[in-house]
Structure 1
Amino acid sequence: MTGSALDEVREEAPEDGRAVPTGRLRTALAAETLVGSLGLYSVIPVLGPLLAARSPGSGTAIVGIGLFCYTASAGLSATLVARRLRRIAYAPGMVGSVLLSALAFGLLPFAGADWALCGLLVLAGFGVSAHFLYSRVLIAEVIRDDIGRNRVFSLLQIAVNGAAALGPFLANALYSPAEPHKLMGVVALCYAAAAVVMLPGLPRGVRPPETSGRWPVGRKVLRQVVTTPAIRRTVVVSVLGTFVYAQFYSAFAFYVAERFDSAALRSFLLAGPAFWIVLLQAGVTAVISRLMRGGTTPFAVLGGANLLFAGSMLTLGSGLEPAVGAILAVLVFSVAEMAFGPMVSTAYAGLPIGSTLEAFNLRQVCWSFGEALGALSGGALFVALHDQGRGWLYWQSLGAVTLTVTCLLLFLSRRTTPRAPACR
């Protein structure tokens, strides 16, 4: 993407020729992410109870169906219509998607039928999905080096996790089954505020790049995944990492609920990653930036994160006293997430794929695939083994497989890829 419109959102390039975003763009995206995520993480903790209260005649069925509608839509809906979205410029597309989520969440308490509840959740998820796709592609187009991209993605991760730490408190303070409109009105206002703070930092008249075909991920790119080792390894390492990442919100959440009676300890363990990310993400990003200046590739960072994920799983199955093992596992998992989360977007943005829009479509497909399989495994296989008193076997097996596959990928990468030149 070139032209004067895009140049307006770039600073004057440093001597090494790298283009970095202006402070206004960076600040706008960070502020919008914080405010919008506060709305999202205020509704997520009570979405199930809200659906059950709005449709008491449907029992638990509407809860499962509604959560599926939102999760599936938020994960993949924008990717499926990416070719149509690229016809809309970044500014109206990003602002419109946020306002769509505001409208859908705000109307949720007034829906009088199950189909209306599910329809609004699909719309809310689509707004979230479209905004995510637009914003990541914009960052990848504006910033041309991996270190700069990773810094911005890390900043957004801090904002998301700050909101994730505050959201449940807002939900508990405002939500009432009898008056859900109070909380949902605040959620809608959060999304509307996100649109306002974001708009001044967005480029005008600039659209996402073209894709190679009619499908979100065209045959040309799929052929590259199969035939290009660098792309293939990135796909495998990211899907594996996402699979293990999903254990925290499935198997680990179940384990904590079943194993610990203390509500304070349960809350501490489940909120731990968000807390540590807000506190330590900047430091971890600085370390990763230094490593990348020395020639470390995004793929190597993802591999290192996967090794930490494996260590977290092995800690849970190590036979340590449960509270000690769980706390140590959360600490290791948190560091892994600090490296993995921003670097997934950084790695896909740098793949040798002609269209960054298509590269992020591939990212979304891989992330959703890994996360869905991970949640299925954590919610089915782990529960089955846990009920037999063999939950430790799940943790150890998952950790061993992750460790083995990641080490193999890193070994193959060192054999076939020349060392990247240092970024100066």
Structure 2
Amino acid sequence: MQAIQKIGQAAQTAAFELGQLATATKNQVLLAMADALEAATPTILAANQQDMAAADANHVRQVMLDRLKLDQQRVKDMAAGLRQVAALADPIGELVQGWQTESGLQIAQQRVPLGVIAMIYEARPNVTVDAAALTFKAGNAVILRGGKEALRSNIALATVLQTVLTQFNLPATAIQLLTDTTHETAQALMQLNEYVDVLIPRGSGRFIQTVVQTATVPVIETGAGNCHVYVDADADLAMAQKIVVNAKTQRPSVCNAMEKLVVHQQIAAEFLPQLAAALAPFHVELRGDAQAQAILPQLIPATAADWGTEYNDYIMAIKVVPDITAAISHINRYNTKHSEAIITNNYAHSQQFTQQIDAAVVYVNASTRFTDGFEFGFGAEIGISTQKLHARGPMGLTALTSTKYVVRGTGQVRP
């Protein structure tokens, strides 16, 4: 049996055992994992420093290095995520609905684990812990394949988590990390239909589409974030400026960062110079259409390719529109169904925007940076689904379950 098949078989066996665990046991394990992570901080950071040095030597962009970097606070945040997941209600066994049929059958729909979840993701070591925490609490085994840039960090993190599993006499194979980061192994995982129930990729839009096109196991699309903020004619411009600066600069390398600004022509001449001044300290490269350039001559002309591009960098493109209908049309044409925001004091416009924008999360007068499982109260998140089937938006515990029907009778047969 090939190595990847053995990994899949071991995960399937572990998933059955995890599906039978009591909630109290799962919570004890998660809390122990949190304590173990904090205790292992020096080892984890030493491994991460090696990854950072190698990535820097390979000229990885600074904003991508931010995704890779771990420090003491980020390790504490991962531990906090584990504790928050332990505090959440266990979805397994939850009664979704129940009823009695005319024939007297008692039908109950209840939540069950998905089984074996595979994850393929780029250089984000925190995903290793977030994914392990959520899949474990929801009774699933997980197979993790992180980016080569984060391999040492991921090994250090996975080793800590696996050690805790063995301390509780649970199979370490409930959380497995592929240390072979070749494309061939990744492709084999994407086609491990016999053992993998669902695959969740996290990374750039191009990366996710490659996985979708290659995988034969079911895939939940996540992550690609060409996010917009629309500043309406009836916006509070001070509020708009604050939100745009936050959405663009607070952490530009992540999928919920704003990439495009859409501005109503009525307030563009007043708002854009103010915004450019506010963004200047962050050295954001501004691009724009002809109307935006007429207001800010220093803008780089936006090309057709700009409107659909997720920059993951200190770059922003600006589109000036005549009305909210044009704004919605533009956003729906170019967005990735992730997170979109309107800044307005016009209730009718806010309603139109929330009803007509096609995205997993739609904001009124708030930053797109809040699209996050932790911020939504889900604990950690396993990803942000941009598709419409099974799950959409930040995916917490419930998104990692399926359901089954339990039907009880008293001897009924169908006439």
How high is the TM-score relative to the length of structure 1? 0.26
Which structure carries more strand by proportion?
2
Q: Which has the higher contact order (CA 8 A, sep 6+)?
A: 1
Which structure carries more helix by proportion?
1
